[in-house]
Amino acid sequence: MRGMEGKLTSPTVLREVLSRHGVRLRPELGQHFLADGNILERIVELTEAGGDETAVEVGAGAGTLTVALAPRVRELVAVEVDRRLISVLEETTAAHPNVRVLPGDFRGFPLSSLGERILLVGNLPYGITSDVLVKLIREREAVERAVVMVQREVGEKLVAPPGPEASRLGVHLRAYFDAEVVRKVPRTVFFPPPAVDSALIRLRKLPVPHVTAPEPAFERALSLIFSGRRKTLRRALLGQLSAAEADRILAEARLDGRVRGEALPLEAVDRLAHTLDPGGTR
């Protein structure tokens, strides 16, 4: 189907296309398609796509974002786990030979197999948001930047400063990426509307990470810190270490065991990680 740019933001058109392919949306897969041309235009603008790059879309759905972004990139890999939507995508993207429709679960594809310096985009299904972002962190060598839609509460926690609103995923992400909430998105702009509002997040990989500890040690430190949200740092460490070991680590990392773990700035988490892995390279 040619000339789909903009039309797929119409609930009427979306309903007709899906009906023609015999597709009924499955809420358990987080299938809520963007139906607002202004926000779609803003997403494309935020990608800063320059033409000579590969974009990977997580959960391409019916192709709303796909057909809007395709003219801006050299190649667009549209990943979709629901095989019923593959024929829909093949129809809606037919006018864009640079689009490669890839059936399957995004979490199962190594990012390095999809391209280099990838631009990652997508309206992330809420149920797999954490999995996608952790994958992005761990396979960041293949990624340049990302623009993704997430649940509003999740987005706010991703960028929250140290304190009661901080999240393990947010601290993990900001160790390697600059993260910002660029727009809050009401549930009413989706078809069908989800139960909660969303947020548009822009991520840029840092030239140099904010942490220097080896990744396993840094992730272990995060696990310890966030194992008990309302516990002091010392009590959290005592969940996995002896009192003597916990006190030694706190002293070497120059940390006050009376503070709560979520209140630690990144540099303090990095010091804790180095102390947990004294053989690591600084």
**Numbered residues of the known binding site for S-adenosyl-L-methionine:** 32, 34, 59, 80, 105, 123
Q: What is the CA radius of gyration of the chain?
A: 21
Task: Check residue 232 and report its DSSP letter.
Answer: B
Asked if 38 contacts 129 with a C-beta cutoff of 8 angstroms, the reply is no
Instruction: Identify any residues that bridge with 190 across adjacent strands, giving them in sequence order.
Output: 34
With vertex at residue 17, the alpha carbon angle to CA 1 and CA 20, rounded to the nearest 5 degrees, is: 105
Question: What H or E segment, with its residue span, contains residue 234?
Answer: helix 233-238
CA proximity to 199, closest of 239, 153, 233: 153
Q: Which residues are annotated as a binding site?
A: 32, 34, 59, 80, 105, 123
